[in-house]
Structure 1
Amino acid sequence: MLTFKESILLMTRVNCRLKVRQEDEVLFYQAEKNNLDVEECKGILCLQPINSDKVEAGSVDDLWKEIYEECFLVSRYKDVLLNWDRFNFLIENILEKAEICNKKLEAVALMEQMLLRSEEYLWIEEAGCPVLLYKSDDVCHNVLNIFAEQLGAAFERAGQEVEYFDTETEEINDLNKFRGRHFRAVIGMQTYLFGVRMMDGSYLHDYIIGPKFNFIFDHPVWMRHHLTNVPKNFYVITHDINYVQFTQHYYHHKTYLLPPAGQIVTLEDLREIYDISFIGTYGDYWNQALLIHEMPREIRFIANHFLLELRKNTNYTAEEALAEVYRKKGYQPTDEEFLEMLWELYRPYFCAVYYYRHCVIKSLLDAGLRVDVFGETWQTSPLSVYPNLVCHPNVRYEEAVRIWQQSKMSLNIMSWHKGGFTERMANIMLCKTVLVTDDTSYLHGRYASDEDLIVFRLDELKTLPQKLKMYLENEEKRHGIAERGWRKACCNETWEVRERILEEVLL
C-alpha cells in the first residue's frame, strides 16, 4: 500500500526548477491546497531536525543547494509554516546549515530576497504555477475551443494544474481577477485578449505574471492586430515554419513551430462508405478576382502581378510572391512598406487559395471519382452540377471524426500554408484513413508520400486522379498507407506530444 507521501507525489505536479527539495514542495503545495495539518505531512525533509554529523559529511555545494531551495520554500509557503508553527523552526534550520558551510550572511541575504519575491523567486515559483488557457466564442465550428480543451487535458494528464477563462460565459472585465496572479503560462488560441488595455492605456496582461503564448493559425500578416498590440513577455506559436520566420522578422516576437495536434480516438469498426471525403468550405475565387478590380489603381497593379506569381509558382509563400513582384519591378521596399502592401493583398491571396481548391476537386470529378464534401457552400458552387459531387451539410468536430473513419481517403487542401501542418491532417491519419494532401515542407523528412500518406503538387494535378483510382482499387496498399500513417501520427501528432514540447519551452 502506498504511503500518504507516495500517493501525493503520484497525483500532483512537481516544480521542475527545484532539484533537492522538489518532493517537499509537492507536500507543501498539497497542504496549502487541502488545508492539511503538519501531522499529515510528516515526510517533509526540511522540517526534520538537523543531523549535524550527516550534514558536515556532505559537500558545501550540496548543502548550499538545500539552503537555496529552502529559502524559496520559506517565502512561498510562509502562511502554511506560520499556521503549523514551523516558520521559525525552518529559518533556524537554514541558518544552522549556513553556519556549517560558512555562508550565513549569504543565506540571510538570499532569504530576504526570496521573502521580497525577487526575480529569482518568481522564476522558481513559475514552474509550480497553474497554466491559464483562454477559450473564446464558438467560431470555426468550435475548433479553437477544442484545441484549448485538448491541450488543457494533456497538461492535466501530465500533472499540471490548469485554469480556463471563457469569453463566451465571462465578461472581459472578469480578467481583472487574474491581476497579480502568477501562471506558468497564459495560452490563447488566436485570441485578441492579450491586446486588452486598462483605462490608463497599459496592457492588462502586464499585471498577470508569467509568459504569454498566442497560437496563430492564419498567415501572420492577417493577424497584425494580434501581433502588434501585445504585453511584455509575449510569444507566438504557429503551425508553419514560414510563419515562424515571418513573425520573427516583421513583428520581432520569439516564435515557436508547434502545429495543432489531433486526438487519438477509439477506432470503431465502421464501414468505409466514402471513397474520398473533404470537410471544408467552397470559396468563390471568381468573386475575389472581380473584387481585385475595385482596388485602388496602384494596389491593383501589384495585386494582379502577385496573383500571377502565385498561379505560376505554387510553391511560393505569399511573401515570396510579393518579393518577386517587387524584384521584377526593380523596387526594394522597406519592411514597413512590404508588410503594409502584403496586408492589402488579402483578395488575390484568397483568390489563389480558392482557385486551387476548386481545381483539385474538379480534377477528381472530371476523372469520374466520387467526392463527398461537407459544408453548405458546396451546394451553390459551380461544381454542384457534377453528379459525382455529393454535398452534405456542415459538420462539427465530433461528426468530422466519424466521417474520416468512414472514408477510404480524405482530402486536405492547404490555405497556402507552404510549411505547415494542420489538425485536419493529424486527425485524418489518427482515424486510420489515408491522408491526401498538397505538399508542405513540414512533411519533408517526417512523412513519405505513398508510404505514410499521399502528397500531390498543385501544379501537377493531372496525375492525381489516376493515383487515387489505383489506391481505391488496391485495398491492401491503401490500408498499408493508412496503418503506417496512423502509427507515425500516434507517435508525433498528438496533444501529449505537443504538451511535452511546450514543457521544454517553459523550462
Structure 2
Amino acid sequence: MKVILIKNAVETLGYFSEQLAETFQEMGHDTYFVDYDDLVNTVDGISRFAVPEKTVLCTFNFIGLSGEEVFIEENGRYIWENQGIACINILVDHPLYYHSKLAKPPVPEMRVFCIDREHVVYMKRFYPALPVEFLPLAGNCILEREVPSPIEGCHGQKQKHKNIPYQKRKYDIVFTGNYTPVEHLYREIDRQGAEYRTFYYEILEDMKAHPAVSIDRMLEAHIRKELGAVPDEELRAAIAGMVFIDICMRSYFRGEIIKCLAEHKIPVHVFGANWEKLDCSSHEYIIKNGREVDSVTCAEAIADARISLNVMPWFKDGTHDRVFTAMLQHTLSLTDDSRYLRENFTDKKELVFYSLEKREELPELVKKLLEKPEKCMEIAERGYESAVQEHTWKQRAEAILMDLVK
C-alpha cells in the first residue's frame, strides 16, 4: 500500500504525520509527503506516486479536504477522488468544529477517526453515514536530528535523543501549550444581545461547576431547556455554532490550573505564547519562554522535567498527547482524568491524577510529589513501560492499517 501524508500545514499535526510515516515505512509501505512549504511541486507529484485503489491519504482535521484550490481539479473534484485515493481523516478536536464538512463530506470515500470515545458516539448519532472509529492520540518521540557537519558540503550525522537522568533534570514541573486570554473570548460574547449573553454565560458557569460533563452534553441540555424538543439536524448545527464555548473552557481551566500553582509559590515553567496575559498575582512563579514552540521543543522540555502537567482540552473519554509524551520521556505525567485514562491506568502507578473540581488540592499534591523524587521516578518508569508498548504513533499506525483491511 502507498500512503500520502501532509506536513507544514499545522506544525503539531505534521509532527504526528512524520512519526506515522516512520512506521508505515518500517511495515514496507511507500510514503509520500505533500509539503505546504512546497505545495505546487508536491501536489504535482501525487499523480506520479499514487496507484488507484492502492493509495490512501492519511490526514488530520480535514487538511487537504477543506476546499483548498490546489487539491481541486478541473472537473471540480478533489485529486483524491479522481486518483482513486481513499481518505483517512483523524479529528483531534471535537467533531462540532467540523460540522459543515461532516454534514457534506468532501469526498465519497472518507473514514473518520476520533480521539475521544464520546466524539465517536457523537459522530454516530449526528453523522451516521460516515464510518468512524476510536483512535486515541499517542505520545511524541523526539525524532533523530541531523547535527551539521563541520565540513562544508557534507551531510551531518543523525543524533538520537538521550534520556536525561531523573535527578539531573532542569525543571521540577513544566506545562507545554499556549494561553488564550479568556477576557478576549468573553468580549465576543458581550457583543451579543442581552438574551444571548445570559444564555452563554449560564452555560459557562454550569461547565465551570461540572467539568466532568462533555461539551456536547452540556450544550444539548441548555439548548433543550431553552427551546424544548429540537430535531437532531437542527441540534447539531446549534451545537456547532457554539464552538467558542469549548475554546473558552479550555482556556479558563488551563489558566486556572497554572494560576493555582503559581499563587501557592510553586514555580511552573510554561513553554508557549501569551502566558504574560494570564490574570495572576504571582507571575514570578510562572517562568515563561515567551513564544510559541514546536513539537520537538515541547518534547525536549518535558524530557528535562521531573513532572509534566497536563490540562485536558475537554476530552472526557480520551486523552491528550501530552500525557503519553511525558511517559515516553521517562517523566511523571500529572493530569486531570478521563474515563479512558481511568480504564487504562492506575493513579500513582503509571501517572498521577488531579481533579479539576478539587483543584485547590493540586498545590499540596505537587509539593508531596516533589518531596519524593524516588517515588516519582518509579511512577515515571512504569509510565514509560506502558507507553512505549501501547501508546506511540507506531501502535496507532498499525491500528489504522488494520482498520483499512477489515
Equivalent of residue 269 in structure 1, options 126, 145, 164? 164
* Counterpart AA for 1:236: V
* 1:448-499 C-alpha deviation (Å, 9 max, x unpaired): 1111111112111121111111110011211111111111111111122112
Q: Which moved more, 1:146-155 or 1:364-373?
A: 364-373
* Counterpart AA for 1:259: P
* 1:63-86 C-alpha deviation (Å, 9 max, x unpaired): xxxxxxxxxxxxxxxxxxxxxxxx
Give the conservation status (yes or no) of the 8 Å contact 1:432–1:482.
Answer: yes
Structure 2 unmatched runs, 5+: 143-160
1:224 Cα shift?
A: 2.6
Give the conservation status (yes or no) of the 8 Å contact 1:188–1:213.
Answer: yes
Q: Determine the C-alpha separation between the residues in 2 that align with 1:316 and 1:359.
A: 18
1:451 matched residue in structure 2: 349
Equivalent of residue 430 in structure 1, options 325, 328, 339? 328
Q: Determine the C-alpha separation between the residues in 2 that align with 1:345 and 1:416.
A: 15
1:347 matched residue in structure 2: 244
2:60 matched residue in structure 1: 189
- Once superposed, what is the RMSD of the aligned Cα atoms? 2.2
1:378 Cα shift?
A: 1.1
Equivalent of residue 212 in structure 1, options 87, 95, 104? 87
Equivalent of residue 502 in structure 1, options 382, 396, 400? 400
Q: Determine the C-alpha separation between the residues in 2 that align with 1:170 and 1:465.
A: 48
* Counterpart AA for 2:35: D
Q: Determine the C-alpha separation between the residues in 2 that align with 1:255 and 1:299.
A: 34
1:299 Cα shift?
A: 4.0
* Counterpart AA for 1:310: M
Give the conservation status (yes or no) of the 8 Å contact 1:238–1:258.
Answer: yes
2:5 matched residue in structure 1: 133
Computing the radius of gyration over CA atoms, which structure comes out larger, 1 or 2?
1
1:177 matched residue in structure 2: 47
- When you count strand as a share of all residues, which structure comes out higher? 2
1:183 Cα shift?
A: 2.8
* Counterpart AA for 1:248: K
TM-score (norm 2): 0.86
Q: Determine the C-alpha separation between the residues in 1 that align with 2:74 and 2:80.
A: 13
Equivalent of residue 200 in structure 2, options 303, 306, 312? 303
Percentage of identical aligned residues: 24
* 1:315-350 C-alpha deviation (Å, 9 max, x unpaired): 111111012213433602112221222222233322
1:233 matched residue in structure 2: 109
* 1:132-188 C-alpha deviation (Å, 9 max, x unpaired): 222342x3xx11111111101111111122222223212286377268733342211
* Counterpart AA for 2:180: G
* Counterpart AA for 1:187: C
Q: Which has the higher contact order (CA 8 A, sep 6+)?
A: 2
Q: Determine the C-alpha separation between the residues in 2 that align with 1:486 and 1:396.
A: 22
Q: Determine the C-alpha separation between the residues in 1 that align with 2:239 and 2:198.
A: 13
* Counterpart AA for 1:209: G
* Counterpart AA for 1:181: P
Equivalent of residue 480 in structure 1, options 371, 375, 378? 378
Q: Residues 180, 404 of structure 1: CA spacing in aligned structure 2 closer, same or farther, 3 A cutoff?
A: closer
Q: Determine the C-alpha separation between the residues in 2 that align with 1:354 and 1:390.
A: 18
Q: Determine the C-alpha separation between the residues in 2 that align with 1:166 and 1:384.
A: 44
1:7 matched residue in structure 2: none
1:264 Cα shift?
A: 4.2
Q: Determine the C-alpha separation between the residues in 2 that align with 1:346 and 1:131.
A: 32
Q: Residues 400, 136 of structure 1: CA spacing in aligned structure 2 closer, same or farther, 3 A cutoff?
A: closer
Equivalent of residue 315 in structure 1, options 205, 208, 212? 212
Give the conservation status (yes or no) of the 8 Å contact 1:195–1:231.
Answer: no
1:244 matched residue in structure 2: 120
2:25 matched residue in structure 1: 156
Q: Residues 263, 361 of structure 1: CA spacing in aligned structure 2 closer, same or farther, 3 A cutoff?
A: closer
Q: Determine the C-alpha separation between the residues in 2 that align with 1:218 and 1:238.
A: 8
Q: Determine the C-alpha separation between the residues in 1 that align with 2:351 and 2:197.
A: 39
Q: Residues 190, 471 of structure 1: CA spacing in aligned structure 2 closer, same or farther, 3 A cutoff?
A: same
Q: Determine the C-alpha separation between the residues in 1 that align with 2:326 and 2:295.
A: 12
What is the DSSP-based 3-state SS (H/G/I as helix, E as strand, rest coil) of the residue aligned with 2:37?
coil
Q: Residues 264, 200 of structure 1: CA spacing in aligned structure 2 closer, same or farther, 3 A cutoff?
A: closer
Q: Residues 133, 183 of structure 1: CA spacing in aligned structure 2 closer, same or farther, 3 A cutoff?
A: farther
- When you count helix as a share of all residues, which structure comes out higher? 1
Q: Residues 312, 384 of structure 1: CA spacing in aligned structure 2 closer, same or farther, 3 A cutoff?
A: closer
* 1:392-422 C-alpha deviation (Å, 9 max, x unpaired): 1333222222211211101111111212222
* Counterpart AA for 1:162: T
Residue 165, structure 1, aligned to residue 34, structure 2: yes
TM-score (norm 1): 0.70
The list of structure 1 runs, each at least 4 consecutive aligned residues, that deviate by more than 6 angstroms after superposition, is none
